[in-house]
């Protein structure tokens, strides 16, 4: 995701957008079709829902009020494996899709078919296909941005919103916050959102050794330790959050903390699909301001923000001021956790989320 939605947009707009080469697209498409993506382990059997021009792969468990889980980048519905079981056991209907461009769902090659309105319409169409009027939406990272946008673009479909790590973007009709905590990240053209913009460039680096990519990105410590991060030189790849440069090191920073079974599934899936679908989310970010400019300004449904102490990209302070436009908001910070909060601290996230669901939604 980004330091803030405003800074994300600014960095993306500053980046030149180049046309995707048809020959490169054809190669990626052929590779994806030649290697089957397997259903995720530790999850219910997936099924497919036709929505908004795609066939969305959906994992579902339990009965009761529906709770839709939206993953981030470079993740999958599989990232919610610990929440699916816990939320279903608590008496809810847990629903986790592989979103547009990811995993079993896949998506169109055309980057123009990716933007926040489309992502939200995908979810609304999924509810329609399932005969669901309203749901609670829970999102992490890019999924967090989507669920906060759902509350403003499709408020009539929302029972509640919970964002992990990602705060809701401040509506443009409100004055800017004062005394904002400065980011530890030194924003330069090397910032990963900028380096993700040119089609094909990030793919070459991320796909050169997919397991190495995930061992670096889905890690704790390293760039996910606020105290040590703050002591790094301002011209370092770390402080500039130059993910592509760090991945290319022989020994990238950070310590993998998930099991081999988990890491193998992420690796095998992205070896089959490539990274283009997820990167198209970043390549669509320049359209975000225009889309959200006409959206509802206030969020009226019960809302929960869960931050993580050591998330330097999306720190808990990024949620400052959300009370200005959200009527019913609770906040919680998970201590000693980096960015991958629901996977790093699943029991704590489950406890906080289920408590909130039972108090605010039922």
Render 26-80 in DSSP notation, one character per residue: HHHHHHHHHSPPPPPTTSPPPEEEEETTEEEEEEEE--SSEEEEE--TT--GGGG
Nearest to 246 by CA among 201, 279, 277, 215: 215
Report the pLDDT value the prediction gives residue 96, as an integer from 0 to 100.
Answer: 99
**pLDDT per residue over 220-271, tens digit each?**
999 999 999 999 999 999 999 999 999 999 999 999 999 999 999 999 999 9
Residue, of 59 and 32, whose pLDDT is higher: 59
Nearest to 273 by CA among 18, 113, 119, 75: 75
Question: Tokens 């009370």 belong to which residue?
Answer: 323
- DSSP state, residue 169: P
Q: How far is Cα 52 from Cα 171, in angstroms, rounded to an integer?
A: 26
Average pLDDT of span 3-23: 36
Domain CATH for 87: 3.40.50.1820
In which band, very low, low, confident or very high, does the pLDDT at 22 lie, cut at 50, 70 and 90?
A: very low
Percentage above 90 pLDDT, the chain: 89
In which band, very low, low, confident or very high, does the pLDDT at 362 lie, cut at 50, 70 and 90?
A: confident
Supply 217's token pair: 């990105």
Dihedral in degrees, nearest 10, Cα atoms 208, 118, 60, 279: 10
Report the pLDDT value the prediction gives residue 12, as an integer from 0 to 100.
Answer: 37
Boundaries of domain holding 123: 5-360
**pLDDT per residue over 301-333, tens digit each?**
999 999 999 999 999 999 999 999 999 999 999
Annotated active-site positions, please? Answer: 141, 282, 339
Q: How far is Cα 134 from Cα 102, in angstroms, rounded to an integer?
A: 24
Report the pLDDT value the prediction gives residue 36, as an integer from 0 to 100.
Answer: 87
Question: Tokens 């030649």 belong to which residue?
Answer: 34
Contact indicator for 276, 101 with CB cutoff of 8 Å:
yes
Supply 68's token pair: 């839709």
pLDDT at 162 over 60: yes
Supply 315's token pair: 């720190």
Nearest to 314 by CA among 195, 185, 190: 185
In which band, very low, low, confident or very high, does the pLDDT at 35 lie, cut at 50, 70 and 90?
A: low
Report the pLDDT value the prediction gives residue 27, as an integer from 0 to 100.
Answer: 37
Average pLDDT, the chain: 92
Question: Tokens 């579902």 belong to which residue?
Answer: 60
**pLDDT per residue over 94-133, tens digit each?**
999 999 999 999 999 899 999 999 999 999 999 999 999 9
Q: How many domains does the chain fold into?
A: 1
**pLDDT per residue over 183-234, tens digit each?**
999 999 999 999 999 999 999 999 999 999 999 999 999 999 999 999 999 9
């Amino acid at each position: 995701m980004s330091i803030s939605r405003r800074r994300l947009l600014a960095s993306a707009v500053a980046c030149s957008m180049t046309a995707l080469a048809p020959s490169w697209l054809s190669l990626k498409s052929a590779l994806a079709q030649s290697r089957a993506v397997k259903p995720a382990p530790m999850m219910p059997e997936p099924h497919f829902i036709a929505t908004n021009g795609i066939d969305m792969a959906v994992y579902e468990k339990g009965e009761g009020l529906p709770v839709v889980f939206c993953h981030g980048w470079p993740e999958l519905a599989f990232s919610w494996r610990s929440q699916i079981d816990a939320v279903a056991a608590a008496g809810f209907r847990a629903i986790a899709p592989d979103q547009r461009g990811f995993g079993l769902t896949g998506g169109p090659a055309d980057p123009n078919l990716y933007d926040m309105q489309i992502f939200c319409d995908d979810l609304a169409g999924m509810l329609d296909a399932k005969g669901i009027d309203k749901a609670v939406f829970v999102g992490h990272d890019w999924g967090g941005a989507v669920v906060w946008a759902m509350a403003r673009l499709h408020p009539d479909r929302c029972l509640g919103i919970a964002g992990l790590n990602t705060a809701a973007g401040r509506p443009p009709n409100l004055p800017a916050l004062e005394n904002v905590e400065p980011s530890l990240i030194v924003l330069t053209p090397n910032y990963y959102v900028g380096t993700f913009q040119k089609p094909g460039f990030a793919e070459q680096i991320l796909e050169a050794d997919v397991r190495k990519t995930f061992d670096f990105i889905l890690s704790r410590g390293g760039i996910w330790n606020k105290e040590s991060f703050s002591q790094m030189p301002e011209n370092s790849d770390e402080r500039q959050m130059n993910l592509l440069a760090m991945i290319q090191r022989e020994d990238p920073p950070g310590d993998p903390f998930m099991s081999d079974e988990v890491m193998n599934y992420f690796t095998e899936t992205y070896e089959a699909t490539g990274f283009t679908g997820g990167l198209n989310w970043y390549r669509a970010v320049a359209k975000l301001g225009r889309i959200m400019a006409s959206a509802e300004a206030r969020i009226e449904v019960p809302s929960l923000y869960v931050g993580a102490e050591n998330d330097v990209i999306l720190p808990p302070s990024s949620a400052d001021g959300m009370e200005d436009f959200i009527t019913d908001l609770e906040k919680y910070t998970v201590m000693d956790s980096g960015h991958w909060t629901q996977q790093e601290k699943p029991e704590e996230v489950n406890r906080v989320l289920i408590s909130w669901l039972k108090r605010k939604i039922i």
